[in-house]
Amino acid sequence: MAAVTRYSGKVVVVTGGSRGIGAAIVRAFVDSGAQVVFCDKDEAGGRALEQELSGTVFIPGDVTQEGDLQALISETLSRFGHLDCVVNNAGYRLILCFPLDPPPQLPEETSAESFRRLLEVNLLGTYTLIKLALPHLRKSRGNVINISSLVGSVGQSQALTYVATKGAVTAMTKALALDESQYGVRVNCISPGNIWTPLWRELAASTSDPRATILEGTLAQPLGRMGQPVEVAAAAVFLASEATFCTGLELLVTGGAELGYGRKANRSSLVEVPILLP
């Protein structure tokens, strides 16, 4: 019973909630007793989830359009009268150890225009929704949860622009936590590693050897498996409902992928350095 009511009576907004991690977050908050309003560009998927889960409201929307986000907040307040939590999940995602989407790029192969598009989704969409939601979160002493990425902290080869946007989300989380602490609003982020989502499945299927691709993704974690969307969702509910003394936190949900030494260079990049023996 406690698990069902741990966030009872609260109102949560989730972006990118139609499938994968976003859908798992919507389910987890409903299971914990919250009313959830979620948006997504995938209207068919959003309507299907809304029909499946009582306690949810789906509003089609694109996080790069400020008008859509204004409508999301307005509709939430119209229906429920208050707002307790915002989860910024919508984003252009990149597989951690097998970067196929977008394709691997050297810095000189990137363009300012493609970088701008990525910024619009991953960073400015998050910023805009936070800006619109803050007056209402201050009234409820609510909280913000941003979905970032492990690569925002540790980097990733041939993914300069994506890593830059996710690093910015993590940095923005910490800065906003300082600003909003005076109002009792907590701001945290979750940085997932390899999570087995529909996107991971689709990208693996598009490779010449899907089994090898999945194995590579699996072996990146000391725990010997990929994470599940429900595990990221559980972290989100924890941050919203129980982590009441946490703000500015980056919670890594990675299976330990960032731990330990690993091979970082190939033979062609080795530098001859004399080894001095005692």
216-269: per-residue pLDDT in tens?
A: 999 999 999 999 999 999 999 999 999 999 999 999 999 999 999 877 777 666
88 in Cβ contact with 17 (< 8 Å): no
- Give domain limits for the chain: 2-254
162 is annotated as an active-site residue? yes
Of 7, 127, 162, 261, which residue is the catalytic one? 162
Beta bridge partners of 189: 146, 250
Reference 30, options 47, 48, 10; nearest CA is 10
Fold of 2-254: Rossmann fold (3.40.50)
- Name the pTM for this structure: 0.92
Instruction: Kindly report, residue by residue over 21-64, the tens digit of the pLDDT.
Output: 999 999 999 999 999 999 999 999 999 999 999 999 999 999 99
Strands (E), 62-131: 85-88
Is residue 4 pLDDT above 60, yes or no?
Answer: no
